[in-house]
Protein backbone atom coordinates (compact mmCIF):
# COMPACT_ATOMS: atom_id res chain seq x y z
CA UNK A 1 0.00 0.00 0.00
CA UNK A 2 1.43 3.35 -1.03
CA UNK A 3 1.40 5.66 1.98
CA UNK A 4 1.69 9.45 1.94
CA UNK A 5 5.50 9.41 1.79
CA UNK A 6 5.50 7.19 -1.31
CA UNK A 7 2.92 9.44 -2.95
CA UNK A 8 4.94 12.57 -2.18
CA UNK A 9 8.02 10.93 -3.72
CA UNK A 10 5.99 9.95 -6.76
CA UNK A 11 4.80 13.54 -7.08
CA UNK A 12 8.39 14.81 -7.03
CA UNK A 13 9.44 12.32 -9.72
CA UNK A 14 6.39 12.96 -11.89
CA UNK A 15 6.68 16.74 -11.54
CA UNK A 16 10.30 16.71 -12.66
CA UNK A 17 9.38 14.67 -15.71
CA UNK A 18 6.19 16.41 -16.85
CA UNK A 19 5.10 19.69 -15.22
CA UNK A 20 5.01 22.72 -17.52
CA UNK A 21 4.79 20.59 -20.67
CA UNK A 22 2.04 19.84 -23.15
CA UNK A 23 1.32 16.17 -22.50
CA UNK A 24 0.37 13.45 -24.94
CA UNK A 25 -2.10 11.18 -23.18
CA UNK A 26 -3.15 7.68 -24.18
CA UNK A 27 -4.97 4.83 -22.47
CA UNK A 28 -3.87 1.40 -23.74
CA UNK A 29 -6.03 -0.44 -21.17
CA UNK A 30 -9.85 -0.14 -21.39
CA UNK A 31 -10.01 0.98 -17.74
CA UNK A 32 -8.12 4.15 -18.65
CA UNK A 33 -10.35 4.81 -21.64
CA UNK A 34 -13.41 4.36 -19.44
CA UNK A 35 -11.94 6.93 -17.06
CA UNK A 36 -11.76 9.41 -19.92
CA UNK A 37 -8.05 10.10 -19.58
CA UNK A 38 -7.75 10.73 -23.33
CA UNK A 39 -9.65 14.00 -22.81
CA UNK A 40 -6.39 15.32 -21.37
CA UNK A 41 -4.42 14.73 -24.56
CA UNK A 42 -2.50 17.83 -25.64
CA UNK A 43 -3.22 19.84 -22.47
CA UNK A 44 -0.45 21.40 -20.40
CA UNK A 45 0.22 19.84 -17.00
CA UNK A 46 0.33 22.86 -14.72
CA UNK A 47 1.18 21.13 -11.47
CA UNK A 48 0.67 18.08 -9.27
CA UNK A 49 -0.85 18.13 -5.78
CA UNK A 50 -1.05 15.43 -3.16
CA UNK A 51 -3.50 14.91 -0.33
CA UNK A 52 -2.64 11.90 1.78
CA UNK A 53 -2.54 8.94 -0.59
CA UNK A 54 -4.20 10.85 -3.44
CA UNK A 55 -2.48 12.43 -6.46
CA UNK A 56 -4.13 15.29 -8.35
CA UNK A 57 -2.73 16.30 -11.74
CA UNK A 58 -3.75 19.86 -12.62
CA UNK A 59 -4.44 20.22 -16.34
CA UNK A 60 -6.06 23.65 -16.04
CA UNK A 61 -9.81 23.11 -16.24
CA UNK A 62 -9.49 19.35 -15.76
CA UNK A 63 -7.89 17.28 -13.00
CA UNK A 64 -6.65 13.71 -13.18
CA UNK A 65 -7.26 12.02 -9.80
CA UNK A 66 -5.27 8.90 -8.95
CA UNK A 67 -5.27 6.67 -5.87
CA UNK A 68 -3.00 3.65 -6.08
CA UNK A 69 -4.30 1.45 -3.26
CA UNK A 70 -2.39 -1.78 -2.79
CA UNK A 71 -1.90 -2.78 -6.40
CA UNK A 72 -1.41 0.43 -8.39
CA UNK A 73 1.77 2.23 -9.41
CA UNK A 74 3.17 5.14 -11.38
CA UNK A 75 6.37 4.44 -13.31
CA UNK A 76 8.52 7.12 -14.93
CA UNK A 77 10.55 6.06 -17.96
CA UNK A 78 12.83 7.73 -20.45
CA UNK A 79 11.13 7.66 -23.82
CA UNK A 80 12.00 4.48 -25.68
CA UNK A 81 13.04 2.75 -22.42
CA UNK A 82 11.64 -0.73 -21.86
CA UNK A 83 8.71 -0.81 -19.41
CA UNK A 84 8.63 -3.22 -16.50
CA UNK A 85 5.00 -4.16 -17.29
CA UNK A 86 3.21 -4.79 -20.59
CA UNK A 87 1.97 -1.73 -22.50
CA UNK A 88 -1.53 -3.20 -22.78
CA UNK A 89 -1.89 -3.15 -18.98
CA UNK A 90 -1.23 0.62 -18.70
CA UNK A 91 -4.30 2.60 -17.68
CA UNK A 92 -2.72 5.94 -18.59
CA UNK A 93 0.42 7.06 -20.38
CA UNK A 94 1.41 10.71 -19.90
CA UNK A 95 4.10 11.60 -22.43
CA UNK A 96 6.40 14.58 -21.92
CA UNK A 97 9.31 15.79 -24.01
CA UNK A 98 11.91 13.35 -22.75
CA UNK A 99 10.10 11.12 -20.28
CA UNK A 100 6.76 9.45 -19.87
CA UNK A 101 4.77 8.50 -16.80
CA UNK A 102 2.78 5.29 -16.90
CA UNK A 103 -0.01 4.34 -14.49
CA UNK A 104 -0.94 0.72 -13.77
CA UNK A 105 -3.88 -0.46 -11.67
CA UNK A 106 -5.32 0.85 -8.42
CA UNK A 107 -8.78 1.65 -7.12
CA UNK A 108 -9.11 5.20 -8.50
CA UNK A 109 -8.27 6.83 -11.82
CA UNK A 110 -10.65 9.46 -13.12
CA UNK A 111 -10.89 12.87 -14.72
CA UNK A 112 -12.96 15.57 -13.06
CA UNK A 113 -13.52 19.28 -13.66
CA UNK A 114 -11.22 21.43 -11.52
CA UNK A 115 -14.29 23.19 -10.14
CA UNK A 116 -15.48 19.89 -8.63
CA UNK A 117 -12.34 19.04 -6.65
CA UNK A 118 -13.26 21.10 -3.57
CA UNK A 119 -16.74 19.57 -3.33
CA UNK A 120 -16.02 16.04 -4.53
CA UNK A 121 -17.35 13.57 -1.91
CA UNK A 122 -14.32 11.26 -2.08
CA UNK A 123 -11.84 14.13 -1.64
CA UNK A 124 -13.80 16.46 0.63
CA UNK A 125 -14.12 13.88 3.41
CA UNK A 126 -10.35 13.47 3.75
CA UNK A 127 -8.84 14.68 7.02
CA UNK A 128 -5.78 16.94 7.26
CA UNK A 129 -2.83 15.67 5.22
CA UNK A 130 -0.20 14.40 7.68
CA UNK A 131 2.49 15.68 5.26
CA UNK A 132 0.93 19.10 4.55
CA UNK A 133 3.57 21.88 4.59
CA UNK A 134 1.95 23.13 7.79
CA UNK A 135 -0.01 20.52 9.70
CA UNK A 136 -2.83 21.77 11.92
CA UNK A 137 -2.05 19.44 14.81
CA UNK A 138 -4.81 20.78 17.10
CA UNK A 139 -7.38 20.40 14.34
CA UNK A 140 -6.19 16.85 13.67
CA UNK A 141 -6.37 15.90 17.36
CA UNK A 142 -9.91 17.37 17.40
CA UNK A 143 -10.87 15.02 14.53
CA UNK A 144 -9.66 12.03 16.57
CA UNK A 145 -11.68 13.28 19.55
CA UNK A 146 -14.83 13.61 17.45
CA UNK A 147 -14.84 9.95 16.38
CA UNK A 148 -15.99 6.94 18.41
CA UNK A 149 -13.63 6.82 21.41
CA UNK A 150 -13.95 3.04 21.78
CA UNK A 151 -11.98 2.57 18.53
CA UNK A 152 -8.39 1.49 19.04
CA UNK A 153 -5.62 3.95 18.23
CA UNK A 154 -4.09 1.75 15.52
CA UNK A 155 -7.43 1.45 13.75
CA UNK A 156 -8.17 5.19 13.95
CA UNK A 157 -4.76 6.12 12.53
CA UNK A 158 -5.71 4.39 9.27
CA UNK A 159 -9.00 6.30 8.97
CA UNK A 160 -8.31 8.77 6.15
CA UNK A 161 -11.23 10.96 7.31
CA UNK A 162 -9.33 11.72 10.54
CA UNK A 163 -5.91 12.26 9.00
CA UNK A 164 -4.88 11.49 5.45
CA UNK A 165 -1.71 9.71 4.40
CA UNK A 166 -0.90 7.24 7.19
CA UNK A 167 -0.96 3.57 6.23
CA UNK A 168 0.00 0.32 7.85
CA UNK A 169 3.73 0.96 8.05
CA UNK A 170 3.65 4.34 9.76
CA UNK A 171 0.69 3.43 11.95
CA UNK A 172 2.99 0.85 13.57
CA UNK A 173 6.18 2.90 13.46
CA UNK A 174 4.61 6.07 14.92
CA UNK A 175 3.07 4.23 17.89
CA UNK A 176 6.44 2.58 18.55
CA UNK A 177 8.31 5.91 18.40
CA UNK A 178 5.84 7.51 20.82
CA UNK A 179 5.83 4.38 23.05
CA UNK A 180 2.05 4.13 22.91
CA UNK A 181 0.22 0.80 22.67
CA UNK A 182 -1.77 0.84 19.39
CA UNK A 183 -4.41 -1.41 21.01
CA UNK A 184 -5.50 1.23 23.51
CA UNK A 185 -8.96 2.66 22.82
CA UNK A 186 -8.89 6.36 21.95
CA UNK A 187 -10.65 7.08 25.25
CA UNK A 188 -7.48 5.93 27.01
CA UNK A 189 -5.07 7.97 24.87
CA UNK A 190 -4.38 11.48 26.22
CA UNK A 191 -4.21 14.46 23.86
CA UNK A 192 -0.46 14.83 24.34
CA UNK A 193 0.05 11.15 23.51
CA UNK A 194 -2.06 11.51 20.39
CA UNK A 195 -0.02 14.55 19.46
CA UNK A 196 3.22 12.63 19.98
CA UNK A 197 2.03 9.78 17.75
CA UNK A 198 0.95 12.15 14.96
CA UNK A 199 4.17 14.14 15.18
CA UNK A 200 6.18 10.91 15.04
CA UNK A 201 4.25 9.76 11.97
CA UNK A 202 4.88 13.06 10.24
CA UNK A 203 8.58 13.17 11.12
CA UNK A 204 9.17 9.58 10.04
CA UNK A 205 7.26 9.97 6.80
CA UNK A 206 9.18 13.14 5.92
CA UNK A 207 12.33 11.19 6.65
CA UNK A 208 11.14 8.45 4.31
CA UNK A 209 10.42 11.03 1.59
CA UNK A 210 14.04 12.14 1.89
CA UNK A 211 15.64 8.71 2.24
CA UNK A 212 13.33 6.50 0.16
CA UNK A 213 14.43 2.86 0.31
CA UNK A 214 17.21 3.74 2.73
CA UNK A 215 14.67 4.60 5.46
CA UNK A 216 14.80 1.90 8.16
CA UNK A 217 11.84 0.57 10.11
CA UNK A 218 11.84 -0.38 13.80
CA UNK A 219 8.85 -2.68 14.22
CA UNK A 220 7.14 -2.99 10.81
CA UNK A 221 7.70 -6.58 9.59
CA UNK A 222 10.47 -6.92 12.14
CA UNK A 223 11.75 -10.40 12.85
CA UNK A 224 13.67 -10.63 16.07
CA UNK A 225 13.53 -8.65 19.28
CA UNK A 226 12.68 -4.99 19.87
CA UNK A 227 15.61 -2.70 19.05
CA UNK A 228 14.89 -0.67 22.19
CA UNK A 229 14.19 -3.19 24.97
CA UNK A 230 14.95 -6.59 23.35
CA UNK A 231 11.39 -7.69 24.15
CA UNK A 232 9.33 -9.59 21.57
CA UNK A 233 7.86 -7.66 18.62
CA UNK A 234 4.35 -8.92 18.01
CA UNK A 235 1.98 -8.54 15.08
CA UNK A 236 -1.74 -9.08 14.68
CA UNK A 237 -4.60 -7.91 12.45
CA UNK A 238 -6.41 -4.86 13.79
CA UNK A 239 -9.68 -3.08 13.06
CA UNK A 240 -12.54 -3.95 10.75
CA UNK A 241 -10.16 -4.33 7.79
CA UNK A 242 -7.86 -6.57 9.87
CA UNK A 243 -4.75 -4.65 8.84
CA UNK A 244 -1.63 -6.01 10.55
CA UNK A 245 -0.12 -3.97 13.36
CA UNK A 246 3.41 -4.54 14.66
CA UNK A 247 4.27 -3.43 18.21
CA UNK A 248 6.46 -4.15 21.24
CA UNK A 249 4.39 -5.29 24.17
CA UNK A 250 7.04 -4.35 26.68
CA UNK A 251 7.90 -0.75 25.79
CA UNK A 252 4.58 0.37 24.31
CA UNK A 253 2.08 0.70 27.11
ZN1 LIG B 1 10.50 -2.76 23.19
Instruction: Give the pLDDT confidence of 13-53 residue by residue, as tens digits.
Output: 999 999 999 999 999 999 999 999 999 999 999 999 999 99
Q: How far is the CA of 156 from the centre of ligand 1 (A)?
A: 22
- Residue 81: its pLDDT value, please? 94
- Residue-wise pLDDT tens digits, 228-247: 999 999 999 999 889 999 99
Q: How far is the CA of 33 from the centre of ligand 1 (A)?
A: 50
The DSSP line for 162-191 is TSBS--HHHHHHHHHHTT--TTSBGGGS-H
Q: How far is the CA of 140 from the centre of ligand 1 (A)?
A: 27
The SS3 of residue 17 is helix
User: Looking at 92, 124, 156, which one is the last position of a domain?
Assistant: 124
Q: How far apart are CA 169 and CA 46, in angstroms?
A: 32
CB 116 within 8 A of CB 38: no
Q: How far apart are CA 240 and CA 87, in angstroms?
A: 36
Q: How far is the CA of 207 from the centre of ligand 1 (A)?
A: 22
Rg (CA), the chain: 20
Q: Is the per-residue pLDDT at 93 higher than 80?
A: yes
What does the buried/exposed string (b/e) look like for 49-73 if buried means 16 or more CB atoms within 10 Å of the residue's CB?
ebbbbbbbbbbeebbbbbbbeeebe
Residue 131 belongs to a domain:
no
Full residue range of the structural domain in which residue 184 is found:
137-248
Q: How far apart are CA 206 and CA 3, in angstroms?
A: 11
- Residue-wise pLDDT tens digits, 142-175: 999 999 999 999 999 999 999 999 999 999 999 9
Please report, for the domain that includes residue 169, its CATH number.
Answer: 1.10.8.50
- Residue 2: its pLDDT value, please? 79
- Residue 96: its pLDDT value, please? 97
Q: How far is the CA of 220 from the centre of ligand 1 (A)?
A: 13
Q: How far is the CA of 67 from the centre of ligand 1 (A)?
A: 34
Q: How far is the CA of 16 from the centre of ligand 1 (A)?
A: 41
Cα 94 to the center of its chain, rounded Å: 21
Q: How far is the CA of 221 from the centre of ligand 1 (A)?
A: 14
Please report, for the domain that includes residue 16, its CATH number.
Answer: 3.20.190.10
Query: Do residue 167 and residue 230 come from a single domain?
Result: yes
Q: How far is the CA of 247 from the centre of ligand 1 (A)?
A: 8
Residue 210 belongs to a domain:
yes
User: Looking at 85, 102, 124, which one is the last position of a domain?
Assistant: 124
Structural domain count of the chain: 2
- Residue 195: its pLDDT value, please? 98
Band the pLDDT of 57: cuts 50, 70, 90: very high
CB 238 within 8 A of CB 154: yes
**Strand pairing partners for 233?**
248
Q: How far is the CA of 34 from the centre of ligand 1 (A)?
A: 49
Q: How far is the CA of 201 from the centre of ligand 1 (A)?
A: 18
Q: How far is the CA of 249 from the centre of ligand 1 (A)?
A: 7
A 10 A CB-CB count for 110 gives 15
Q: How far is the CA of 175 from the centre of ligand 1 (A)?
A: 11
User: Looking at 99, 124, 149, which one is the last position of a domain?
Assistant: 124
Angle of helix 4-18 versus helix 191-211 axis, rounded to 10: 40
Residue 145 belongs to a domain:
yes
**Strand pairing partners for 59?**
62
- Residue-wise pLDDT tens digits, 187-229: 999 999 999 999 999 999 999 999 988 889 999 999 999 999 9
* Terminal CA-CA length for the chain: 27
Average pLDDT for the chain: 95
Q: How far apart are CA 249 and CA 189, in angstroms?
A: 16
Between 242 and 2, the more confident residue is 242
Q: How far is the CA of 31 from the centre of ligand 1 (A)?
A: 46
Q: Is the per-residue pLDDT at 1 higher than 80?
A: no
Amino acid sequence: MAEGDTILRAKQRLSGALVGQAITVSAPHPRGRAAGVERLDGLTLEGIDTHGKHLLFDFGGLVLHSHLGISGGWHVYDRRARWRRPRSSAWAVLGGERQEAVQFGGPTLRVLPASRVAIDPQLARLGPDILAPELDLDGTVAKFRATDQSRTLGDALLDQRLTAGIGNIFKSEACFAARVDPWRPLAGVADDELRAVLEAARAQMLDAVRLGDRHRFHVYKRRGPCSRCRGPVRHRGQGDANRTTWWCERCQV
